[in-house]
Every structure is written in C-alpha cells, then in structure tokens.
Amino acid sequence: MKNLHFRPIDAWTFIEPGAPDEVGTAAATRAVSFAETAVSSRDRARLVREFSDLARYRDTFEAPDFAVLTTNRPSVHVIAHTAVHYLVGDGAADFVIDDSWAERRDGSLTVDPEITTTRTALGTATRILLRHTSEPSRFLRRRSVKTSVRWVQPFSDESLSRTAVLTSVIAHESNVDLALPHVDRLALSLELRETS
C-alpha cells in the first residue's frame, strides 16, 4: 500500500500526535533549530505556548497531519499553519469548491474564491484562495482579513481513490506575500511512497 508523503521543508514543522503540551514543545524546539540567529529564552517560551495551542487546535479538528510555517530570521515567528484531512472516493474537489462558494454567499468572504488547477506528479490538484472577513472588533480599528488556501489533491494507490485536502491559514495580511509561496510549495511537494 502507498501513502502520501511530505518532502522535508525547513520552513515547515509538523506537529506529531500526542499530548498537546509535549508535542507542542517538541515541535517548537524543531522550529527553533532552523533559526539563523540565536533565539532568546523568552521567544522559546512564546513559541512553546503557540505550538502547544496549535496542537490543541489540531486535536479539535482531528487533522491527521498538521504543519506550522515559521520564519527563521531575524527571529522565529509562526506565520501560517496547515491542517491535512483525507477523504475516500471521488468528488472531494467539487465538495470543497461548493463549500467555498457557500462561504461567499453567507458573507464570510470579502471577495469571490480564486480557483485554479495545477497538474502535479499525482494528477490534477485544485487550489482555492479565500479572503475571510474577521470578527468585528470592540475598538474602532478596521477589520483585518484572514487568508486561507485549500489545496485539493486526489491520489490513488491502485486499490483506493483518496483525496488530500490541505487547508492553510495565514492569519495576518502582512504575512500573505511571504507565506503563500511556502503554502503552495508544501502542497506541490507531495509524493506517494510505499508504506514500510
């Protein structure tokens, strides 16, 4: 049997299954190891909290795979995260596209979804870029916009058709230009390997 495999990319750190505080600490330590400059104990503690919170978030959404994108200079900061779910059978791309348009109709998106397809080593993948409205603030600041990208990649191991849905969230507009190429690279680096 073959399973989907993510090629190692230093900017991304996967959070393994387990107790959130333990796996969050381990993942934060891995992220720090990619830093190009020394990381202060205060920043390490911040990262441990952030990764532990993301591990709890992962558990809430029962994502089998979950990766966190961080910067490596001048300091280490979380700028995006990706939850991966696997669906069996055909039609996942249509389902995710329909869901995106439903969000647009209910006012959750600021603009129409940007939907494109890309030919990958595994077949045709669908990329859906979404710009979400934020919750209104109690203060008089303007609403921020959250960006998410959903990559839908069908794949088959010759006995079963499956689809990987990678949902990446970039919470702050200031990080979109930096994070988007890395989000796409993660999705485009998928490959099938024999299960050992």
Instruction: Please report which confidence band the pLDDT of residue 89 belongs to, taking 50, 70 and 90 as the band edges.
Output: confident
Q: What is residue 46's three-state secondary structure?
A: helix
Q: Which pLDDT belongs to residue 196?
A: 62
The mean per-residue pLDDT over the stretch 24-32 comes to 96
Pairing between β-strand 12-14 and β-strand 65-70 as defined by DSSP bridges:
antiparallel
Asked if 136 and 143 touch (Cβ cutoff 8 Å), the reply is yes
pLDDT 10s digits, 143-154: 678 999 999 999
Q: What is residue 91's three-state secondary structure?
A: coil
Q: Which pLDDT belongs to residue 93?
A: 86
Query: Which domains does the chain carry?
Result: 2-79 (no CATH), 83-194 (3.40.1000)
Its pTM surpasses 0.75: yes
pLDDT 10s digits, 96-142: 999 999 999 998 899 999 999 999 989 999 999 999 987 665 554 55
Q: Which pLDDT belongs to residue 76?
A: 92
Q: Which pLDDT belongs to residue 161?
A: 86
| β strands within the chain, DSSP E | 2-6, 12-14, 65-70, 78-88, 114-120, 123-133, 145-156, 161-170, 190-194
pLDDT surpassing 90 at residue 60: yes
Q: Give the DSSP H/E element, type plus range, for residue 94.
A: helix 92-105
